[in-house]
Amino acid sequence: LLLDEATSALDNTSEGIVQEAIDNARKGRTCLTIAHRLTTIKNSEKIAVVKSGRVHEEGQHEDL
């Protein structure tokens, strides 16, 4: 499942609804999410922070 800024144009209420659907859809699947909003990626198993085209840091939300 590939998501590129899937919630970027949504208000907070709509984002919550869509994010819940995304969380359900990605269960048991590999999911690559490109996002600027922390709420979109905070439940991910692994997060890679890309800066100037390179991986700057990676890990789980709590570790970054």
Give me the CATH number covering residue 35.
3.40.50.300
**What is the residue range of 53's domain?**
2-63
Q: How confident is the model at residue 8 (pLDDT cuts 50, 70, 90)?
A: very high
Residue 63 has what DSSP assignment?
G
Per-residue pLDDT reduced to its tens digit, 12-64:
999 999 999 999 999 999 999 999 888 888 889 999 999 999 999 999 998 88
Confirm if 34 and 3 have CB atoms less than 8 A apart. yes
pTM for the model stands at 0.74
Residues 2, 40, 54: CA angle, nearest 5 degrees: 65
- Which residue from 50, 47, 42, 48 is spatially nearest to 19, judged by alpha carbons? 42
Q: How many domains would you assign to the chain? A: 1
Q: How far apart are CA 5 and CA 62, in angstroms?
A: 22
